[in-house]
């Protein structure tokens, strides 16, 4: 790289901007000569002197064209460099704020050390391990942000060198074929045009880590960010580490484009299907041997086309749902992905970039983007409940269907994405962990982050929380077939911050399919799901709360389980109602007691 941290942190756009402005004046003066040069014609003058004058004027005109091309190219290159340097200055300031906020020190040569974490004591070894991993990750994130800032600086340097050294000094900007000085100006303008600063391509899926993406975004100027959103919304719509507001704007631009593309593909396939049917019909009429036993409407004839149509129609339904949700007040689309087997989407209620409390909910078996509206309604209700309890602090909730959740359909139990297997939860858990990291990396402050998981989504959440440095402060699971762990300490959250709710008659909660039953885990807080009265002295003092039963009602508005989840999202442990939860296989004798009526 052309410059290290010590140099880059002293970069100043003002001299570059001043040079660009000075060249703009030169460019204007040169262009003003166009009429004068064109008017110096020799059409009414003949002889050797006239021929000599014409040759001289042609040389002057060509020289002016070359100078205009060069001045315009350098002027534009300097203007774009000045704007890009503004982004670098912003990134340097953001890195230094990040280091200060997290107790880190950056040396002059860009080395990062942990100041605050040294010598701290923790109540348990688990908490010490979690904190140590977090501190190491913070150091690495700071290093990554520095690397992205220096990478941007190197690209600015390369772009300027291309124009100055490889263009002007190498004599590649001759514009003698230009029809006018204005045309020569356009040649220089186009030559100086640089590509947009591309995002990182690291990480297992090629979209960069959350820390890399946050560093890349921080190094963009406001002008560059707007250009990315409008010219390349696909770069950032699903990119963890980019602020929620930018992802939302990008996805809103992509929605109509994707919808039009899906509609067009459906029309083409429907036409192909009808063409094939017509062929079969013609064959039947002419030979008596068309179709399968003469049936031109036999679905076997069209199964390849119909399979593609099913996928596209699911995508169409998903896009319609997301479009509807995007139109609701205070809703934001943080993810929209049609590149997998089924559509994936992430929709937030509230300002994820600014809310003091953020909750991310991952649903399980059967969840789909097309059917996302019900989950969104629950998240809106939960946000309102939690906001009331949060001492005036703001709350945002997120429905995360950013993975291939298992479905209830023929053959699903024996597929690679089966609900009986952990593959979908394991793969989805990694992406979910990166989404958590992205929320933290995209913000200057540290939000209070809660992970919520239901059913197979709780298993996915459990896998996510086995990864280090997700930034999750608390977790609540409900109706879980297992978290992929045998003990609470395998989850990388602080001690005493994991909670579990299980409703009466919920068979899934006792499957123990993916690790130990959460009701039996030492250190797992158990939440009441039966009818209860909100504790006095809380925001819902004396309110009667409804019980929930079976597997699908944990988020019902006005229920005890919803109330408890709201207290967790709002970080109000004083208001939580604890309870001993009983499931289908837990102490069967309990079912018949009058206390359980």
CA distances from 384 to 311, 394, 544 (A): 36, 10, 18
Contacts within 8 Å (CB) and 24+ apart, 321-326? 321/369, 321/370, 321/371, 321/372, 321/373, 322/251, 322/255, 322/347, 322/369, 322/372, 323/255, 323/259, 324/373, 325/372, 325/373, 325/376, 326/251, 326/252, 326/255
- What is the model's pLDDT at position 588? 46
Interatomic CA distance for residues 68 and 81, integer angstroms: 20
Secondary structure of residue 271 in the 3-state scheme: helix
Q: For Cα atoms 196, 197, 203, give the angle at the middle one, nearest 5 degrees.
A: 130
Three-state secondary structure call for residue 346: strand
The DSSP bridge pattern shows strands 544-545 and 532-533 to be antiparallel
Q: What is the pLDDT of residue 418?
A: 59
The H-or-E segment that residue 544 falls in is strand 544-545
CATH topology of domain 340-583: Rossmann fold (3.40.50)
Q: What is the rounded distance in angstroms from the CA atom of residue 63 to the CA atom of residue 52?
A: 17
What's the rounded Cα separation, in Å, for the pair 462 and 470? 12
What six digits make up the tokens of 41? 């014609």
Tokens encoding 92: 């340097």
State residue 412's pLDDT score.
Answer: 46
Q: For the whole model, what pTM was predicted? A: 0.89
Alpha carbon distance 9, 5 (integer Å): 6
What's the rounded Cα separation, in Å, for the pair 325 and 422? 30
* Cα distance between residue 343 and residue 311, in whole Å: 9
How far is the C-alpha of 212 from the C-alpha of 569, rounded, in Å?
A: 28
Strands (E), 353-462: 357-362, 395-401, 448-454
Q: What angle do CA 557, 561, 562 make, to 5 degrees?
A: 35
Alpha carbon distance 329, 383 (integer Å): 13
CA-angle at 337, arms to 334 and 339, nearest 5°: 165
Q: Are 510 and 584 in contact (CB under 8 A)?
A: yes
Token pair, residue 192, equals 């100086």
Q: What is the pLDDT of residue 596?
A: 34
- At what angle are helices 13-31 and 48-101 packed, to 10 degrees? 160
Is residue 122 a contact partner of residue 53, using CB atoms and an 8 Å limit?
no
**Residue 9 near residue 95, CB atoms below 8 Å:** no
- 482 is written with which tokens? 């297992």
**Tens-of-pLDDT digits for all 597 residues of the chain?**
457 899 999 999 999 999 999 999 998 888 887 766 665 555 566 667 666 666 667 667 778 888 889 999 999 999 999 999 999 999 999 999 999 999 999 999 999 999 887 777 888 999 999 999 999 999 999 999 999 999 999 999 999 999 999 888 888 887 656 778 888 888 888 888 877 788 998 776 778 999 999 999 999 999 999 999 999 999 999 999 999 999 999 999 999 999 999 999 999 999 999 999 998 888 887 876 655 555 788 888 899 999 999 999 999 999 999 999 999 999 999 999 999 889 999 999 999 999 999 999 999 988 999 999 999 999 999 999 999 999 999 999 999 999 998 886 555 444 455 566 767 899 999 999 999 999 999 998 999 999 999 999 999 999 999 999 999 999 999 999 999 999 999 999 999 999 999 999 888 867 778 889 999 899 999 999 999 999 988 889 899 999 999 988 999 999 999 999 999 999 999 999 998 665 555 554 344 443 333
Query: Which two structure tokens, joined as six digits, stand for 181?
Result: 């000085």
Residue 106 three-state SS: strand
**Is-contact 554 547, C-beta < 8 A?**
no
Domain ranges of the chain: 5-106+145-194, 340-583
**Reduced to 3 states, what is the DSSP secondary structure of residue 400?**
strand
Place of tokens 């499931």: 583
Q: How many residues does the chain have?
A: 597
Angle among Cα 450, 455, 461 to the nearest 5 degrees reads: 40
């Amino acid at each position: 790289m052309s410059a290290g941290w010590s140099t880059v942190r002293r970069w100043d756009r003002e001299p570059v901007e001043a040079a660009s402005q000075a060249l703009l004046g030169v460019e204007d003066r040169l262009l003003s000569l166009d009429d004068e040069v064109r008017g110096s014609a020799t059409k009414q003058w003949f002889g050797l002197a006239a021929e000599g004058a014409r040759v001289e004027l042609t040389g002057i005109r060509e020289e002016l064209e070359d100078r205009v091309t060069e001045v315009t190219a350098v002027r534009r290159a300097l203007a774009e460099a000045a704007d890009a340097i503004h982004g670098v200055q912003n990134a340097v300031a953001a890195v230094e704020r990040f280091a200060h906020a997290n107790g880190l020190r950056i040396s002059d040569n860009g080395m990062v050390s942990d100041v605050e974490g040294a010598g701290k004591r923790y109540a348990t070894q688990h908490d010490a391990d979690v904190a140590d991993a977090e501190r190491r990750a913070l150091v690495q994130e700071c290093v990554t942000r520095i690397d992205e800032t220096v990478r941007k600086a190197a690209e600015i340097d390369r772009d300027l060198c291309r124009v100055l050294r490889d263009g002007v000094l190498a004599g590649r900007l001759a514009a003698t074929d230009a029809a006018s000085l204005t045309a020569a100006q356009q040649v220089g303008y186009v030559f100086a045009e640089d590509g947009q600063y591309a995002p990182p391509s690291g990480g297992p899926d090629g979209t960069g880590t959350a820390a890399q993406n946050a560093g890349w975004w921080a190094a963009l100027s406001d002008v560059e960010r707007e250009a990315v959103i409008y010219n390349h919304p696909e770069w950032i719509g699903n990119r963890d580490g980019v602020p929620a507001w930018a992802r939302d704007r990008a996805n809103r631009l992509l929605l109509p484009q994707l919808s039009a593309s899906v509609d067009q593909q459906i029309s083409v396939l429907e036409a192909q299907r009808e063409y094939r049917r017509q062929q079969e019909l013609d064959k039947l009429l002419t030979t008596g041997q068309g179709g399968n036993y003469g049936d031109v409407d036999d679905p076997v004839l069209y199964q390849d086309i119909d399979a593609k149509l099913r996928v596209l129609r699911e995508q169409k339904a998903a896009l319609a749902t997301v479009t509807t949700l995007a139109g609701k007040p205070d809703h934001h689309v943080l993810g929209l992905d049609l590149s997998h087997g089924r559509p994936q989407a992430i929709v937030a209620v509230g300002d994820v970039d600014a809310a003091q409390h953020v909750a991310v909910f991952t649903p399980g078996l059967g969840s789909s983007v097309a059917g996302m509206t019900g989950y969104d309604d629950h998240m809106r209700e939960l946000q309102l409940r939690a906001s009331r309890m949060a001492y005036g602090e703001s709350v945002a909730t997120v429905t995360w269907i950013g993975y291939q959740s298992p479905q209830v359909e023929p053959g699903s139990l024996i597929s690679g994405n089966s609900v009986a297997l952990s593959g979908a939860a394991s793969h989805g858990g990694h992406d979910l962990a990166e989404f958590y990291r992205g929320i933290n990396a995209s913000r200057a402050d540290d939000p209070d982050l809660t992970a919520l998981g239901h059913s197979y989504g709780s298993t996915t959440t459990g896998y996510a929380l086995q990864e280090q440095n997700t930034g999750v402060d608390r977790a609540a699971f409900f109706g879980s077939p297992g978290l992929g762990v045998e003990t609470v300490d395998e989850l990388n959250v602080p001690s005493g911050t994991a909670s579990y709710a299980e409703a009466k008659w919920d068979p899934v909660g006792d499957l123990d399919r993916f690790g130990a039953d959460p009701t039996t885990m030492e250190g797992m807080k158990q939440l009441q799901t039966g009818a209860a009265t909100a504790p006095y002295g809380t925001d819902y003092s004396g309110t009667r709360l409804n019980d929930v039963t079976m597997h699908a009602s944990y988020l019902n508005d006005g229920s005890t389980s919803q109330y408890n989840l709201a207290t967790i999202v709002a970080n109000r442990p004083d208001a939580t109602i604890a309870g001993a939860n009983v499931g289908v296989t837990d102490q069967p004798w309990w079912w018949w007691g009058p206390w359980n009526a």
